[in-house]
A and B are shown apart, each in its own frame.
Chain A
Amino acid sequence: MPYADNQGIRIHYQIEGEGPPLVLQHGFTQSVRDWYLAGYVDALKPAYQLILIDARGHGGSEKPHDRAAYTWPIPVYDVMAVLDHLHLPCVHFWGYSMGGEIGYGLAKYAPERIYTLLIGGSHPYASSWGTAFRDVDGTDPAAFLATFEKRLGTSLTPEAKARMLDNDLQAVAAAAQDRPSLEDVLPTMTMPCLLYVGEADGAFLRVQEGAKRMPNVTYVVLPGCHHGGAFYRADLVLPHVTKFLQAVHP
């Protein structure tokens, strides 16, 4: 498996297709596999060079169990490490949920590396996942699941539960971090942005609030979708993504 290194931590990535480079960054407890499962990879690889990245603690990347290894904004710089490793100065970046937070982080900490941003189900305001998982170290899968569902405000489907339990729960529990607000970056985000969110996503109002302050955004609401479900609705998401990317990079 191909890896980049960020200060001694191996970050796994996967390349598919050829064309303008488009990074795909999954959400908390997901991995590159979810982009394949949802159908995004097959749909996009004929036109783009997809760079799928496993966030540290997830998928094929290294999985430290200490929380300090995941201090914000380290996950943002893990993306930079992959881009450096591949000699890619500038890319389209698409992140969902936690991956979207990394997208806002790139706009804040490494704006020179992104050509456009595509963000799903994610807002730049302060988040408190670290506080939510303060007493959860991942050694008890039931406690982990209960905390996660409480945080999401919805119950997971049996399939989603199975995918989640496939993680190194001690690593992903450590990866759950509080993040400071990045809202001051919003007015500076003049690059083309596509922002989408499920109508029933618990973060809907904050996503919408952020969208109002982004100067160059295409904002899309997915009817009836909640946070976990929206990711898997490639049928709803892809038409917006392909239209957006074709407009900025024909």
Chain B
Amino acid sequence: MMQAWPKPKHLGPEYGAQFSDPSVASAYRFRPPYPDEVYTLLEGLLVDVPRLVLELGCGLGEIARRLATQTDRVDAVEPSHAMLALARTLPGGGRQNVHWFCCTAEEFAYVPG
């Protein structure tokens, strides 16, 4: 049933602005969680050493915080201050190998290592 639709034309910056709203960030706890298959897939991609993860648009860092337990470093990028403020308080959000960046993917300058 997977559909291969183009990205809807209306999905622009004004939509992204919704995720800056603290009420949207705090509502995230009600979202359906990612299925375990997502983590199985991602963990299968971690073959190089050191094990590095870059997540663009991490939201509350649900994936970043979980992958941090089995990797060397996670860089998590998210333009919403509200999302990151909450992410840091959630389990694993304060781990030393998780690095939070408050910017868009386009603004993020990644220097490996």
Contact = CB atoms under 8 A, between A and B. Distances in A.
Given A108-B18, A188-B18, A89 B12 contact: no
B30 A190 contact: no
B30 A74 contact: yes
B10 A191 contact: yes
Interface residues of A, number: 32
A19 to B, nearest CB: 11
Given A73-B27, A188-B17, A115 B32 contact: no
A192 B17 CA distance: 19
B47 interface: no
A7 B11 CA distance: 28
B30 A71 contact: yes
Contacts of B24: 108-109
B8 interface: yes
Nearest to B33: A7
Contact of B15 (A6, A7, A21, A188): A188
Interface in B5-43: 5, 8, 10-12, 14-15, 17-18, 21, 23-24, 27, 30-33, 35
B111 interface: no
Contact of A190 (B12, B31, B33): B12
B3 A180 contact: no
Interface in A191-247: 191-192, 216
Interface string B67-105: 000000000000000000000000000000000000000
B23 A180 contact: yes
A90 B30 contact: no
The binding surface of chain B is classed by DSSP as loop
A64 interface: no
Contacts of A77: 27, 30-32
B8 A109 contact: no
Given A111-B15, A188-B18, A80 B31 contact: yes
B5 to A, nearest CB: 6
B84 to A, nearest CB: 18
A67 to B, nearest CB: 14
Contacts of A114: 8
A190 B5 CA distance: 18
Q: Which 7 A-B pairs have the closest CB atoms?
A: A191-B10, A81-B32, A190-B10, A111-B15, A87-B2, A188-B14, A77-B30
23 contacts: A5-B32, A6-B32, A71-B30, A73-B27, A77-B27, A77-B30, A77-B31, A81-B32, A84-B35, A87-B1, A90-B3, A108-B24, A109-B18, A111-B11, A114-B8, A115-B8, A188-B15, A188-B17, A188-B18, A190-B12, A190-B15, A191-B8, A216-B10
Given A84-B32, A112-B11, 6 more contacts: A6-B32, A87-B1, A89-B2, A89-B3, A111-B18, A114-B8
